[in-house]
Amino acid sequence: MAETRCIFKRFEIKYLVTDSQRAVIEAALNEYMIPDEYGNSTICNIYYDTPDYRLIRRSLEKPAYKEKLRLRSYGQTDSQGKVFLELKKKYDGVVYKRRIALPDYDAEQSLMYGLPLTPNTQIAKEIDYFRQVYGELVPAMYICYDREAYFSKTDPNLRISFDRGIRWRKNDLTLTSVPSGEQLLQEGCSLMEIKIASAMPLWLTHLLCENSLFKTNFSKYGSAYTTLISRGSERSVFCA
């Protein structure tokens, strides 16, 4: 198995696609891409925020710079299962992600009691500094989804993923529980993300144009938070 990446710098471009659009796109990808290490998996996340949701409220204002902290596992885990504590920043359209791997119990204890992360690596120091800046951070939202992901046969920096069944909940905020929650997307809709270090290859640009796909600013945590504070409005996000 390839060594787990812990540092990312890339553009992330998002599209809402219907099942029919997705089928066409995936068929075309066979020529250029193959499933990646986590090609078909359920991704589970706990987003941490201040008690007054300062991080997500600022993110929804669409500033030039924004950041978030989340704990991630690939599928339901247990107390000793490997999870990733991720610090994700976005500046001027470029996404920077730095993460460390550690047992779920250690991560939760550190976050709950404000304990320094171990081992004391450079990335751990950056995450600890982030926590000091924002003060009290608490589990704010659980979000999970079923992902199929692909990477380019010729460019390791090009990756495309499809997220279906995006679910969220405000209770039971632990990665050791069964992935479940309220749906964010309408049935038959997926979120497609293109992750790339520079310009898109010509074949991919043509594929998007041929299927009339236009990028969106959809945020999983942002949409869940908006739903949380707007309980009386429509809860589903519809495909374009």
Q: In order of start, what are the domains of the chain with their CATH numbers?
A: 7-229 (3.20.100.30)
Residue with tokens 């204002």: 61
- 38 or 150, which is more confident: 150
pLDDT of 96: 97
CA distance 65 to 87: 13
Whole-number mean pLDDT of the chain?
Answer: 93
The tens digit of pLDDT for each residue in 127-173 reads 999 999 999 999 999 999 999 999 999 998 999 999 999 999 999 99
Residue with tokens 């898109």: 200
pLDDT at 231: 78
User: What's the first-to-final CA gap in the chain, in angstroms?
Assistant: 38
Paired tokens of 37:
């290490």
What is the tens place of the pLDDT at every residue in 168-180?
A: 999 999 999 999 9
Mean pLDDT across 22-34:
96
pLDDT band at 233 (very low <50, low <70, confident <90, very high): very low
Q: What phi and psi, each to the nearest 5 degrees, are found at residue 53?
A: 60, 40
Range list of β-strands (E), the chain: 7-18, 33-49, 65-74, 82-91, 94-103, 138-152, 159-169, 182-183, 189-196
Q: Tell me the pLDDT band of 227, cut-offs 50, 70 and 90.
A: very high
pLDDT (average), residues 210-220: 96
Confidence of residue 237 (pLDDT cuts 50, 70, 90): low
pLDDT band at 38 (very low <50, low <70, confident <90, very high): low
pLDDT at site 113: 95
Which token pair is 63? Answer: 């500033």
* Mean pLDDT for the stretch of residues 217-240: 79
- Is residue 117 within 8 Å of residue 110, measured between CB atoms? yes
Least confident of 93-97, 121-125, 232-236: 232-236
Average pLDDT over residues 19-39: 91
Nearest CA to 45 out of 232, 229, 216, 221 is that of 221
Confidence bin at 39 (pLDDT 50/70/90): low
Output the DSSP codes for 106-149. Answer: HHHHHHHHTPPPSS--HHHHHHHHHHHHH---EEEEEEEEEEEE
pLDDT of amino acid 2: 42
pLDDT of 208 above 50: yes
Residue 100: Cβ-neighbour burial (10 angstroms; 0-12, 13-18, 19+): buried
Whether omega for the bond prior to residue 119 falls within 30 degrees of 0, making it cis, is: yes
pLDDT at 4: 67
Sign of CA dihedral 52, 54, 56, 61: positive
pTM for this prediction: 0.93
- 111-120 pLDDT, tens digit each: 999 999 999 9
Q: Examine the pLDDT at 97 and tell me if it is beyond 70.
A: yes
